[in-house]
Chains A and B, each alone.
Chain A
């Protein structure tokens, strides 16, 4: 790794160190640490980590999707409703179908943003209300279910932590890395970094934006299905969707994705989800009021972003 790459990776290194510190702290609080605890960690972060990655893709592409939590809630409700009491093969088929629907919803959102020329934040705020409404229509009350075999495939049979770990890493390997290396991946960074320069370099800006939102939607769909697999149910509440959306933005930013677009990756946001998970749990175990954990999470986010900003200033990049 040369100096240029090292400088670029400094944020990721920072977040790894933070995860390690918090991880050791949390593990020390536990009477023991084994695969059961590891599984709890991973299950605790998996849905939000996936959502953060989806949000990261969109922010890198110069957008932001405030409906990403609502997309996940909708897919959660759809999957819990229609997968309840089905056979293994049907459930697997439906899982793929609903993840695909997530991608489609994302693509449509991206198309509306492109076609209307209205700011992402306005369009996606509107679609977030719409999608939560549809979710409540699909499933008026919390409930639903999933084929137990599929649930085990997602969450792992206690204490097997390998399946959820795979679901955390697999999207990075089969979606992100090929995408990053492709021309579409470069185009994604390009439209986030400088739309005009991207156009002059031969990028179809609108089509790329639709792709970016579609990939974000795939991650949201995956997050929704995974949530069904972990909780074996779904809840159609607007608060869940808005909290999830805000956490996805926090995860992306904490993970080194610049809100200005064009900067960052997906490994950072995945790890940032761990940070967001550890802090309240550490606080709780230390007997500190949960209200403080909110304050500390907020303060830490500001601190990390501040340090990152100062580092970038020093290396001369504004």
Chain B
């Protein structure tokens, strides 16, 4: 054990029955260091964080803090010892007010409000947690962790669901912690963030720490190759260039659509075989736009035309009948977690079968097998979708539309919290759809993806289309400027 380390994780392993989550993980964090913990989905990052914060206990190995061996019995215990985690799912009690949530964790209210104020947010302590939007909730969770003045802050994919402005705020906070001599373990799939702020990076693969190095510039390749191991053939994603798609027919046209809390006036069109990107900060009305197009919500005004025909949706089934399929950002709301991959994939196929008709087992098996093969879904845990990793779950939600067939796929942040390799597979899949003449509307919170997958992009700001950019103009800077309401020439 080394004295000058804040945290040392030594040969930690954890198995759940026959499933090995962590084989042999080592991690050292110095005081005043921002340490990136990286790895593909299922590499063991979450398990390591859970062991470190006392959620679960390890089978072997030890953890030492300030050179002292520790074993936390619960997250509360970890928090008291200066290790404060912010988990992927906000750990606030949904039905209880913020004030009572703070009391539960013994958080000082004044201190908490000071942190919130420093973030430029304001909250009502009487508000029930369930009524607060997810990005704000994550910031609240972070403020709560900061109120405990942690020696080591653990941020598990906190920026994944955050709009750009709040993500920047989180980065400021991490730097402030560092200046105070405190440390941060930062888990993120956004390589740009890691390059810009982290001091050191450790990469996990298959439950082992395969690489650990100083995180200065130009480490992207090293990270990706460490993450992927031998499968390192997808690292070089190429930027798309313009293709001639001018003369194809328009599939969908949206005219002056408004509704919900934020959507004020949105018009655009998608051609057949086109991937249209949508970029926006959080809460600009994009989620409601997708809900309208999926038939889940009704607009206040405006028109939707499919193949030139004006249409209204009463139910998502109407949209599905017209060939419009929706892949929601929240995988949990799309899947039946206790059921098998097979059943989840086959669910939407039943629109072809009469409701009470017999399901043709053989044909179903064939289509499902095709989908599993073409999407490269990891089928080791096929009996229950909830046991799959996030990336594989996302593939299942997309895969069900592959088995059904569609004309327009609405993808809402499909790569959120997914590892680089799987992301690449999803980009390829989206391009393949376009090549087959299908259209895709893709909202993504990671602006880089637009240049990688789309033919064209619109940027929504305050419920209106702020910019309509051809692929050559879709660099991150332009998209970011438009997303902040600045004018970008198209």
Contact = CB atoms under 8 A, between A and B. Distances in A.
Contacts of A190: 93, 96, 104
A317 interface: yes
A316 B130 CA distance: 10
A317 B129 CA distance: 11
Nearest to B80: A202
28 contacts: A2-B126, A4-B97, A183-B103, A183-B104, A186-B93, A186-B96, A186-B100, A186-B101, A190-B93, A190-B104, A193-B95, A194-B93, A194-B94, A197-B94, A198-B93, A198-B104, A199-B74, A200-B55, A200-B87, A201-B75, A201-B93, A201-B104, A202-B76, A202-B77, A202-B104, A261-B95, A316-B131, A317-B130
Interface string B100-141: 110111100000000000000000101110110000000000
A190 B79 CA distance: 18
Contact of A201 (B101, B124, B126): B101
Interface in B39-76: 55, 74-76
Nearest to A189: B96
Interface string A177-190: 00000010011011
A130 B299 CA distance: 57
Contacts of A197: 89-94
A197 B85 CA distance: 13
Nearest to B103: A186
A152 B93 CA distance: 44
Which of A183, A194, A263 has its CB near the most chain B CB atoms (within 10 A)? Answer: A194
A97 B379 CA distance: 59
Contacts of B128: 4, 8, 317
A280 to B, nearest CB: 33
Given A201-B101, A202-B104, A189 B79 contact: no
B79 A4 contact: no
- In this complex, which of B75, B95, B124, B128 has the most chain A Cβ atoms within 10 angstroms of its Cβ? B95
Contacts of A183: 103-104, 106
B209 to A, nearest CB: 25
A93 B130 CA distance: 46
Q: Select the residue from B55, B94, B131 with max chain A CB neighbours within 10 A.
A: B94
A317 B77 CA distance: 33
Interface of A: 2, 4-5, 8, 183, 186-187, 189-190, 192-194, 196-204, 258, 261-263, 316-317
A316 B103 CA distance: 25
A84 B161 CA distance: 66
A200 B54 CA distance: 9
Residue of A4, A183, A197 with most partner-chain B CB within 10 A: A197
B126 A199 contact: no
Contacts of B130: 317
Given A183-B103, A201-B75, A316-B131, A189 B126 contact: no
B55, B96, B101, B130: residue with the most chain A Cβ atoms closer than 10 Å: B96
Contacts of B76: 201-202
A140 B15 CA distance: 55
Given A4-B128, A316-B131, A201 B91 contact: yes
Contacts of A8: 128
Contacts of B106: 183, 202
B153 to A, nearest CB: 15
Contacts of A2: 124, 126
In the A-B complex, list the 4 residue pairs whose CB atoms are closest, starting with the nearest. Answer: A202-B76, A262-B95, A200-B91, A193-B95
B458 to A, nearest CB: 27
Contact of B93 (A4, A5, A258, A262): A262
Contacts of B55: 199-200
B105 A4 contact: no
Contact of A4 (B89, B90, B94, B124): B124
A197 B91 CA distance: 5
A151 B93 CA distance: 43
Contacts of A186: 93, 96, 100-101, 103-104
A197 B96 CA distance: 11
